[in-house]
Amino acid sequence: MAFGLLKGERIYVGQTARTFIFGDYFSVFEDTSDIPVIYPWSAVKGYTEHPQELIFATDDGEVYAIPKNSFADGEQMIRVRSIAEGQLSADVCRVSRRIIPPKYNYRVTESPELSFSATGYYAEKDINSGSAANIYSVTAKYLWIVAAAVFVLVFLCLNGILGEIENNWYYYAPISLFAGIAAAVIVCVILGIVSKFRYSEFVKYDVSAVEEMVIIVAKEGFAAVERCVYTGAELIPWSRASYQFETKTTIVIICKDKTVCWIPKRLFPKEAQSELASFVATNLQSK
């Protein structure tokens, strides 16, 4: 399983007097008992990350909550998440507001041919520019629908109020057209403003946003992994990617679970950036 080489982690939750051990198994120790409850990862039927806690549900009906303030630091929480997500499938996991793809996307790859690799930290402009481009690409067709709907609505309202459509349609049409375009522009501006706060949202909810990253692009797949859990053995197969696009600062790969792999160009030599973009596009097309 992915990230199986990581050292196990032990977490004590004082509120419930329980100790959790994450490793080859998911184990729970009650302070009131000397006998641990040991679950194989196949017995974990639900894993959800909330802003304040991690929730694990098992096949015997138990639900275990681990508050995020129970972790010694952000790196320990990242290691626990990586162990759990590496063992579980996408169907079991429910995560949101992640700056990088969850670990259930990764597969162990023996001796990958590393074509491009870099380390560094994400910057606000990397995330915000890619986020804005992604929002516009996804919503472009809907903007036309908004414009058309407003055009029809304004045209009908003008006709209903002023009447005489056969004599005044050449006045109604440009006014309605302007209203439709204005509505689409307003929606576009709002989406742009929202995208500008994407990085701030990641920093607020995801400890990985401020961690040093290892970025890998290879023939076998790609990766954006926190350096504290990077083992050199895991990649996301190209088959897990849906599409990619490029901005001035970032190459963005959208995975099938709608999570995003951000590849900042500035982390790579300038002379290699265009080759990197072509390499990503070619591998995605041939997957």
Span 226-238, pLDDT tens digits: 999 998 889 999 9
User: For the residues 93-109, what does the mean pLDDT come to?
Assistant: 91
Q: How confident is the model at residue 184 (pLDDT cuts 50, 70, 90)?
A: confident
pLDDT surpassing 80 at residue 252: yes
Which DSSP string corresponds to 107-161? EE-SS--EEEEEEE---HHHHHHHHHHHHHHHHHHHHHHHHHHHHHHHHHHHHHH
State pLDDT tens for residues 141-158. 788 888 889 988 888 887
- pLDDT over 70 (residue 136): no
What's 36's DSSP letter? -
Residue 191 gets which letter from DSSP? Answer: H
Q: Quick one: average pLDDT of 65-76?
A: 95
- For residue 121, name the pLDDT band (cuts at 50, 70, 90): very high
Tell me the angle at which helices 124-162 and 198-205 cross, rounded to the nearest 10 degrees.
120
What pLDDT, on the 0 to 100 scale, is given for residue 195? 67
Rounded CA separation 163/180 (Å)? 20
pLDDT at 276: 94
Structure tokens given for 53 = 């806690």
How high is the pLDDT of residue 265? 94
CB 167 within 8 A of CB 138: no
Residue in the structure block whose two tokens are 């190209």: 238
What integer is the mean pLDDT of 45-71? 96
CA distance 213 to 207: 12
Retrieve residue 51's tokens: 């802003």
Selection from 38, 61, 44, 63 nearest residue 53 by Cα: 63
Helix (H, G, I), strand (E, B) or coil at 212: coil
Helix (H) or strand (E) holding 171: helix 165-195
Residue 131 has pLDDT above 80, yes or no: no
Q: What is the three-class DSSP state of 180?
A: helix
Contact 99, 252 (CB under 8 A): no
pLDDT band at 165 (very low <50, low <70, confident <90, very high): low
Beta-sheet pairing, 93-94 with 44-49: parallel
Among 225, 228, 222, which Cα is nearest to 214's? 225
Residue 111 has pLDDT above 80, yes or no: no
On whether the CB atoms of residues 5 and 231 are closer than 8 A, the answer is yes
Residue 69 has pLDDT above 90, yes or no: yes
Q: Is the pTM of this model over 0.85?
A: no
Tokens standing for residue 50: 């909330």
pLDDT bin (cut points 50, 70, 90) of residue 287 is low
Domains and CATH numbers, the chain: 9-95 (2.30.29), 114-121+211-285 (2.30.29.30), 125-199 (no CATH)
